Structure 1
């Protein structure tokens, strides 16, 4: 009869394998999302360098320039939205929504060239390529793509629960895990993979527990709605009670001058006690029923809740301020804030990023260790059964192929015509097409060659990006001259990742597995199978 620790080991192994490939996607894209604003800045090379310090006066000036541009560009729009650059970005994004015709319902549409405009730091319009930037990786890690959002979030939540189970059972299973953290035995096959898996797991264990649990908390109303439904008739009533908002004002069709924005911004900053503006939305602009909503930047504090203040757009009078939050809501917001890490200064964000990379490596080494551990137990390791071969190829296609797809999206950002219609869709499609080709390649090549070739390809693509930018006149040297530290360090990070992947590819290429001769017939097959030849 199996002991408790052994049963937990089996649970740890199979929960990790069943959803391991999805967890790798979640971890690697979530890790990239910690630099979502920096990635977005890098993927919009037309914008100038990010401002190091934005004062309240600068913020007000940006808003006034944005309102003047919107008045000229979309005077009859139903709403205007202004998204300032913040301390980590550059350029102000302006988005407008057309007024719906009688009986027509306007659905949300992601900003593109037909309903948005960018302003530089000087307040002048800038033609910027259409891209989702780092926001795509952020949305992908919990909304996935090419599938309904609700289904995706349920699926991601299911996988995240498996991840939490895998972490807890992993702690129970490895009774010497902390001692093993300081032990690494290279070139020992399965033992080396286990050492690497333990090290990456223990290195950021508090982070792994926090990021997985708080990830589930972010969508707790979706996954566990029973407490909400026990006190409210439906979710709409719940959100109306916890996040009260004024009813929307009906369009009056009476042109009326708008109140100046500066006094409203001053009142908002006073209520926020020094907080910065994250966005401004004006409904019915230029109308007697105009309203102005000013939202606080989510990176100002740990609590991840946008404090929104509503003003009358004609008189400038404050109509509604953020409601007081109880301890329960504040706790939930703090957990969401810890998960997203928007509050984190640069040093803490690097810790988030490195911990995320450790989590990504933990998932990857766990997947590889599954095959390494079981190969020696096969009746004929030279001819593994279909299920084993499937797992082995999927490991290559996911752990090595998905990064290739992500880098392909960066290359599409650089190579596609700037004015291409539906450009951001083409960038995203390029990522999944490249990943799909890597999946096909993984099933066509022996595993070892698949690892080496895909890691090498990803390294070459990463190395080439800064070089291509330098050739086109927007490379490292230009970043230094213009004081663009964000793009400079992004290029340096790309090179660092490229060298890391190249080292992994070389290590796999040079690896010479030992033959384990069970029987004369299986000895040669085992050596070839472990080598992946």
Structure 2
């Protein structure tokens, strides 16, 4: 620690940011991409058609499909299409008597042959769609708090540890920069260390409320995992009861079906829900005991302008249409937690606000990246005096190149894998994820072998080329390319390709700047060169 409060805060700010900076950059980049999770998933499944029918028509086709596909299922769950996700996703739970015994040596049970089945259906026709297997944008969503290749519990503790360090770095950063608002308007290019510090300050202050909100709410989303003792103390024998009461859930349906009856048309049940919600739209429904006289249906409200992630549900008697119950009203603590979670996920955001969240996330990535680079820039003059680069600086340089320049390569490689891997490849979604990590590992290995300035430029150029070629590969392998999507006004697919081109341009520009960049001369070096110039003139 240092003498003086602000000096101590500066020391704490530096080390809390540096120690987790590279993993934090991965979390920030994956989390930022998750704002367009649905759009990424749609681009990565180009076989899915656009929905041109109403939610009522789509729901009716879903019921017809399930009556033929899973007539004996215990429950049906349907997610209706919307502007961000054009296909219907449905799941069903089969009775235990229908579960087929596992085949020896079989890694994955055939879809629908186990206790649970699922399908993706075209809402326009009611027919099942055969689309390539992929995690899509869900990979980035899970990556930013579950990481990969390590146990989920350990990953979430590690992410929470990084989030706490990030929160400390934000607080100490505000304390350290007493002229924080003046620094926001100050940027001095071509000044070496001063330029990096200015850039870090600007990127930190520009979206400071967002950085504080996203870090704190990220910790809140997993608070019961990080602080489980209160729940286990109050509910020592049944922790599930706590979550049912705290999160205002309706009771689970467990009793079996009785008799047979025909349920009311789904459109009539959805209209009843809309009237209860004063016109709010339906996101989907779960029908329990389909075909039975005691069938019930839970209808979920679509995310709209609600800040809370906890959206209302209604339970109806599916045969008579009688309202059985509504999801209980949330208490103050539950409502607060729902709003915190909702702010983190931003499901309430329309296209403009979502874009603002996305840009704020990108600024957060720049803040973290500039922070870890700034440490290396500060340390380099100290090592230059001794005439050799120490292990610590070499390690940081390699990690900086592999994370800041290498992660964009990995993201682009993930999209390449989606288009170039055979569509019938077994475990295809896992293969796409492996491509992501293989590309990142190659970038890190190259950085460790030669952690020099030109390696920065080369990796930035590689990332730019890979992003620029994504629309080209898309045009060569699918019919959902810019030449089609722009004419059709399909701005989800067209926007994805255009954003890839924009990323390519930014990375290419950064690579060019890095290639031409010359470190600023120290005061001692400037003085030495001036003296040499004077001596040369005198001798002449």
Conserved 8 A contact 1:49-1:482: no
Deviations 1:74-123 (CA, angstroms, capped at 9, x unpaired): 223343221112232212122233433599999xx999965432222413
Post-superposition shift, 1:289? 5.2
Report the more deviating stretch, 447-456 or 170-179: 447-456
More displaced stretch, 40-49 vs 191-200: 40-49
CA distance in 1: counterparts of 2:135 and 2:304, whole angstroms: 20
CA separation in 2, counterparts of 1:435 and 1:277? 41
Sort the Cα spacing of 1:415 and 1:104 in 2 relative to 1 into closer, same or farther, 3 A: closer
Distance 2:232 2:38 in 1: 37
> Which residues of 2 match residues 353-372 of structure 1 at below 5 A?
353-372=358-377
Cross-structure match for 2:323: 318
1:304 to 301, 304, 309: 309
Q: Find the partner of 1:327 among 329, 332, 347.
A: 332
Shift in CA distance, 111/67, structure 1 to aligned 2, threshold 3 Å? farther
| Distance change in 2, residues 1:389/1:110 (3 Å) | farther
Cα gap change, 1:91 to 1:454, in 2 (>3 Å)? same
Cα 1:511–1:239 change in 2 (3 A) is same
Q: 1:180 to 1:263 in 2, by over 3 A?
A: same
Return the alpha-carbon distance in structure 2 between the equivalents of residues 140 and 434 of structure 1: 16
Name stretches of at least 5 consecutive residues in structure 1 with no aligned partner: 524-533
Aligned pair 1:465/2:470, yes or no?
A: yes
- Superposed CA deviations along residues 126-175 of structure 1, whole A, max 9, x for unmatched, are 22212221122112111212222222222111110110000000000111
Name which of structure 1's ranges 249-258 and 487-496 shifts more when overlaid on structure 2: 249-258
TM-score (norm 1): 0.90
Q: How does 1:229-268 map to 2 (within 5 A)?
A: 229=232, 231-233=234-236, 235-242=239-246, 243-252=248-257, 256-268=261-273
Check the 8 A contact 1:250/1:289 in 2, yes or no.
Answer: no
CA contact (8 A) 1:112 1:130 kept: no
Partner of 1:77: 73
Instruction: Calculate the TM-score normalised by the size of structure 2.
Output: 0.88
Assess if the C-alpha contact under 8 Å between 1:43 and 1:410 holds in 2: yes
Paired with 1:341 and 1:423, the residues of 2 have a C-alpha distance of 30
Q: Secondary structure at the match of 1:295?
A: strand
Structure-1 separation of matches of 2:153 and 2:486? 44
34-43 or 91-100, larger mean C-alpha shift = 91-100
Inter-partner Cα distance in structure 1 for 2:34 and 2:139 = 8
CA distance in 2, matches of 1:306, 1:429: 35
Q: Which moved more, 1:112-121 or 1:478-487?
A: 112-121
Q: Does residue 209 of structure 2 align to residue 174 of structure 1?
A: no
Q: How far, CA to CA, are the matches of 1:142 and 1:455 in structure 2?
A: 26
Number of the residue aligned with 1:530: none
Structural RMSD (CA): 2.8
Instruction: Indicate which of 425, 431, 446 corresponds to 1:426.
Output: 431
Residues 282 and 301, structure 2, Cα contact 8 Å, conserved in 1: yes
Q: 1:419 to 1:80 in 2, by over 3 A?
A: farther
Question: For residues 125-524 of structure 1, what are the structure 2 equivalents within 5 Å?
Answer: 125=127, 126-229=129-232, 231-233=234-236, 235-242=239-246, 243-252=248-257, 256-288=261-293, 290-378=295-383, 380=385, 382-472=387-477, 473-514=479-520, 516=522
Shift of 1:475: 1.3
Per-residue Cα deviation, 1:447-466 (whole angstroms, up to 9, x for no partner): 31221121111111111111
- Give the match for residue 15 of structure 1: 16
How far is the alpha carbon of 1:364 from its aligned partner? 0.3
- 1:288-330 deviation line (CA, Å, top 9, x unaligned): 5543222222344211103222233444433321101122222
**Counterpart Cα distance in 1 of 2:101 and 2:297:** 22
Q: Distance in 2 between matches of 1:179 and 1:19?
A: 28
Deviation string, structure 1 residues 194-224 (Cα, Å, up to 9, x no partner): 1110010010011111111111122222223
What's 1:100 paired with? Answer: 96
Distance across 2 between alignment mates of 1:110 and 1:151: 25
Distance 1:238 1:402 in 2: 40
Q: CA deviation at 1:124?
A: 3.5
Give the number of the structure whose alpha-carbon radius of gyration is greater.
2
Give the distance between the partners of 2:258 and 2:408, measured in 1 at CA: 52
1:234-284: CA deviations, max 9, x gaps? 532311222343243233485554332222212222222222222222333
The equivalent residue for 2:41 is 40
SS in 1 for 2:423: coil
Give SS of 2:399's match: helix
* C-alpha distance in 1 between matches for 2:523 and 2:189: 22
Q: Deviations over 1:318-372 (max 9, x none)?
A: 3321101122222221121111111111111111111110001000000100111
Conserved 8 A contact 2:55-2:81: no
Gapped runs of 5+ residues in structure 2? 530-540
1:400-455 C-alpha deviation (Å, 9 max, x unpaired): 11221111111111112223332211111111111111111111223312211211
